[in-house]
Amino acid sequence: MQTDAPIRRRRRAIAEINVVPYIDVMLVLLIIFMITAPLLNLGVEVELPQASAETLADKGDPLMVTVDANGDVYLNTGDAPERVDGQTLTERVGIIVGRNPELQVLVGGDRQVAYQHIYETMVLLQQAGVASIGFMGDPPEQ
């Protein structure tokens, strides 16, 4: 006697990863970063003096101190620049330089600021234990 029962075939599971959703997410993130990157404020807007000077050897990310046209001092530790007073500048830079004594410290001053403000900032940095200070500037326009 013969039965007419259907024969069941076992289906094998497909062992492939569907990467299309990952590509979609990656492209969306890329677009978001492309839109937000120009909006980031990377420093204080100052007009640096122009001169032809040799650049310093790159020893990593420097600690940047900026004096704007009003004489306000800003400390840039990698995040957004923060306006600081003299005591705060001395304390924070002292802590940072204590951890890394060979850290480059660069001072940038607006070309309209009085030299007195830049000099006072340099004295504060010296009191914080900074061994050498570099100046920031722009190359001359041609």
The CATH code belonging to domain 63-135 is 3.30.420.270
For the entire predicted model, the pTM comes to 0.59
Residue 29 has pLDDT above 90, yes or no: yes
Burial 71-95 (b: 16+ CB within 10 A, else e): eebbbbeeeebeebeeeebbebbbe
Q: Read off the pLDDT of residues 77-122 as tens digits, 9 standing for 90 and up.
A: 777 788 899 899 999 999 988 998 888 888 988 888 888 888 899 8
Read off the pLDDT band of 58 (50, 70, 90).
low
Average pLDDT, the chain: 81
